[in-house]
Chains A and B, each alone.
Chain A
Amino acid sequence: MKVSFKVNGKPVATEVEPRTTLSLCLRDNLRLTGTHVGCEHGVCGACTVIVDGDAVRSCLTLAVQMEGCDVVTVEGLSDEAALSPLQAAFRRHNALQCGFCTPGMLTTAHALLSEEPNASVERIREVLSGNLCRCTGYLPIVEAVLDARAAYGGPAYQPADAGHGASHASAGAAR
């Protein structure tokens, strides 16, 4: 079947079998290999992309369901010249080691902060609980997302002291 949608602002049209997941369509048909495929059944969050503004799991979405949709992948978060503020915050906080989960963490956090720039540390933790990371222990990722809030119009960064749990959260819940 032919399917036409937008990826990172550009219209694309490609031929897929109905069973082709969005994750494999992005990687194999469109050669956008930034989207990582981990568990392929909706548990790990590595394949998260943004569809019409919502973070979704591209392994639980069929490519043919994307007809007319607007898809943003990790490649669309910055131009090739410079890191986005969110990506730069990940780098600053050492919020990645092997990097496998990072595209999903970035797309998830970008979708969250685009809608909720004041997201509290509890909200950030809750949202990221759907993304598995086996390297960092999550604390630097939470800090990086907190740090990036300002770039989305949220509060200036103050460390959450995340190592001591969510009770030290900064204010500003936007839920």
Chain B
Amino acid sequence: MKPPQFEYAAPASLSEALALLTASDGEAKPLAGGQSLMPVLAFRLASPSLLVDLRHIPGLDRIEVGADGVRLGAKVRWRDIERDTRLATALPPLAEAIGHVAHYQIRNRGTVGGSLAHADPAAELPGIAVACDAMIEIASSRGTRKVAAADFFEGALTTVLASDELITAIAFPAWPAGRVSAFEELARRHGDFAMAGTAVWFDVDRLGHASNTHIGVIGASDRPRRLHAAEAVLNGKPADATSIAAAARAAAQAVDPADDLHASAAYRRNLIEVLVERALTRASKQADSAVKGSH
């Protein structure tokens, strides 16, 4: 499995990289860690005429944690996220999900921007982006724009990115203290793509009721998505076993999984119910301890 032939450029600046993408008229692909693109090339699922390596472009590899949330540059690697201890409180679903992303060697090179652009329906970061209302920052020679993660993914391996555009960062809104969350997935081998997974979070009001519930799923349709029908089941209710089970059932009804080599659609649907129930249960226990802690 040899990649098809292509030219290679390693520009020194973002503007130079964007000019190369524009000039190539859709024939170029950006290259960051290459951990998704290289297999695509090896299988010849794509045959770009030019790879634009982002390795020399400064400023895209920062993790910023501030009052307005978390911002990850497009070249931030999985291992950078894994080792940033601030994220455990600044963005708990990401900190938890990162342990499931790929294998050791791939985590040393794979990047945030690469995962978003590749848009595998079972990948963790796209799921976290959608579940956590992230904004994806995009640049081209024409200017910059921001797209909500919910609108960014159009289908399996398909996004709204135009061929002259590059992801520069992803920004997550601030995570208030007291918000509870959990991430669950099942993969055939640890580090492989999930057969299905879920990221859930909600706030707890003074009466102990769940509000602002977000339930995002991966591996359950052609793109990561939130399950608004299941979220509505939990909102306004105490996060107890009964309402969690009802929300999990609603989640299983709301997904439209596919059959593939790894699992049947029926198995995946059942898995979504189980994983959503587990995740909500685990999140609700954080809420219990937070309430007890405040007395």
* B295 close to chain A: CB less than 8 A: no
Report the separation of the CA atoms of residues A84 and B180 in the bound assembly, to the nearest whole angstrom. 48
Q: Chain A 56-78, CB within 8 Å of chain B: the 1/0 string?
A: 11011110110100000000000
* A164 close to chain B: CB less than 8 A: no
* B43 close to chain A: CB less than 8 A: yes
Q: Which of B4, B43, B105 has the most CB of A within 10 A?
A: B105
A residues less than 8 Å from B278 (CB atoms): none
Task: Tell me which of A17, A40, A62, A130 contacts B105 (CB under 8 A).
Answer: A130
Task: Tell me which of B43, B108, B109 contacts A41 (CB under 8 A).
Answer: B43
B residues less than 8 Å from A21 (CB atoms): 3, 38
Report the separation of the CA atoms of residues A147 and B41 in the bound assembly, to the nearest whole angstrom. 39
Q: Chain A 80-120, CB within 8 Å of chain B: the 1/0 string?
A: 00000000000000000000000000001000100000000
A130 and B39 contact, CB distance less than 8 A: no
A130 and B55 contact, CB distance less than 8 A: no
* A127 close to chain B: CB less than 8 A: yes
Report the separation of the CA atoms of residues A71 and B125 in the bound assembly, to the nearest whole angstrom. 29
* B191 close to chain A: CB less than 8 A: yes
Number of interface residues of A (CB under 8 A): 28
A60 and B6 contact, CB distance less than 8 A: no
B residues less than 8 Å from A24 (CB atoms): 2
B105 and A56 contact, CB distance less than 8 A: yes
- If A19-B5, A59-B38, A65-B55 touch, does A42 touch B106 (CB 8 Å cutoff)? yes
Report the separation of the CA atoms of residues A65 and B30 in the bound assembly, to the nearest whole angstrom. 13
- If A45-B103, A59-B38, A64-B8 touch, does A19 touch B2 (CB 8 Å cutoff)? yes
A61 and B109 contact, CB distance less than 8 A: yes
Interface residues of A in 7-46 (CB under 8 A from B): 17-19, 21, 24, 40-42, 45
Name the residue of chain A whose CB is nearest to the CB of B56.
A67
Q: Chain B 213-249, CB within 8 Å of chain A: the 1/0 string?
A: 0000000000000000000000000000000000000
Q: Which of B7, B53, B79, B103 has the most CB of A within 10 A?
A: B103
Question: In angstroms, how far is the closest chain A Cβ from the Cβ of B66?
Answer: 26
Q: Chain B 25-58, CB within 8 Å of chain A: the 1/0 string?
A: 0000001001100110111000000010101000
Report the separation of the CA atoms of residues A1 and B53 in the bound assembly, to the nearest whole angstrom. 14
A60 and B5 contact, CB distance less than 8 A: no
* B104 close to chain A: CB less than 8 A: yes
Report the separation of the CA atoms of residues A68 and B116 in the bound assembly, to the nearest whole angstrom. 28
B191 and A129 contact, CB distance less than 8 A: yes
B residues less than 8 Å from A67 (CB atoms): 10
B108 and A60 contact, CB distance less than 8 A: no
Report the separation of the CA atoms of residues A17 and B2 in the bound assembly, to the nearest whole angstrom. 11
Report the separation of the CA atoms of residues A112 and B108 in the bound assembly, to the nearest whole angstrom. 12
* B262 close to chain A: CB less than 8 A: no
Question: In angstroms, how far is the closest chain B Cβ from the Cβ of A139?
Answer: 17
B51 and A55 contact, CB distance less than 8 A: no
Report the separation of the CA atoms of residues A55 and B41 in the bound assembly, to the nearest whole angstrom. 21
B39 and A17 contact, CB distance less than 8 A: no
Question: In angstroms, how far is the closest chain A Cβ from the Cβ of B106?
Answer: 7
Q: Chain B 247-269, CB within 8 Å of chain A: the 1/0 string?
A: 00000000000000000000000
A–B complex contacts, Cβ < 8 Å, 28 sampled: A1-B8, A18-B51, A19-B41, A41-B43, A42-B35, A42-B38, A54-B108, A55-B104, A56-B109, A57-B109, A59-B42, A60-B34, A60-B35, A60-B109, A61-B34, A64-B8, A64-B53, A65-B34, A65-B55, A67-B10, A112-B104, A126-B191, A129-B103, A129-B189, A129-B191, A130-B104, A130-B106, A130-B191
What 9 A-B pairs come out closest when comparing CB atoms? A130-B103, A18-B8, A54-B108, A60-B38, A41-B39, A127-B104, A19-B3, A40-B1, A41-B42
List B residues at the A interface (Cβ < 8 Å): 1-8, 10, 31, 34-35, 38-39, 41-43, 51, 53, 55, 79, 102-106, 108-109, 189-191
List A residues at the B interface (Cβ < 8 Å): 1, 17-19, 21, 24, 40-42, 45, 48, 54-57, 59-62, 64-65, 67, 108, 112, 126-127, 129-130
